[in-house]
Amino acid sequence: MAYAIDLAGKTALVTGVANKRSLAWAVAKLLHRAGARLAFTSRRLAEDEKAKAKLEALVKEVDGLLLPCDVRDEKQIARVFQALDGEFGRLDMLVHSVAYAPPEALRGRFVDTSKEAFQTALEVSAYSLIALARGALPLMERAGGGSLIAMSYLAAERAVPTYNVMGTAKAALEQIVRQLAFELGPQNVRVNAVSAGPVPTLAARGVPGFTHILEVYEKRAPLRRTVTHEEVARAALFLLSDLASGITGEVLYVDGGFHVTAF
């Protein structure tokens, strides 16, 4: 029996699209292809007119709704879900692809991480999943359930040079995924994470030594290559869809098998 992913009549909120190379955008394109109605958030809409124009053009390609949101601001988050309630009346899927740490926290020694940098990284990259889930829950309950995914990385469980406090944030993010999965399961809301191998996004290229990380994956991953944006997006689409209806609290690795290797 063949199975197809049909998301017609369903709605999704996608966070973290910065440009067409974003993993979040790769996920959004597949959601759109499957028939979902899409909304997007970005904190850059009120800060950068050039970035705003580019985002508006991207979102127009999938006939989506673009909303301003700084995930550190509870009031802005509340306005996003009010807008979704007015536009869609429900929410079926949420993609958390937001991560940030001050650049200086990724260049120096981890032991020199400032309290301010630590708090910023954890608030934006991890706590925001809790805040977004809280806002999404009433709309997902109205839809009869829902699915959330968060984008993670192997640094959540291993030491990765220069990734520093972002590894701490990803570890927190994965624990939040498990705790939310436990708590929201009775409402038929599933929460999972995709741990992606390194792909060339704007954010990834801001990590010192990123090119070297790609080379290491190509040599050591069982598939002897890195993964593509679309491979990561297909895994996300699976977890968001009813094909994964029995899966929650999971971290799905899409890294060519690199996470299973010791050498």
Cβ atoms of residues 125 and 99 within 8 Å: yes
Dmax over CA atoms of the chain, in Å, equals: 56
Name the token pair of 159. Answer: 């030491």
Backbone region of residue 195 per phi and psi (left: phi > 0; alpha: psi in -120 to 50; beta: other values):
beta
Q: Which residues participate in catalysis according to the annotation? A: 153, 163
Burial of 262 (0-12, 13-18, 19+ CB in 10 A): exposed
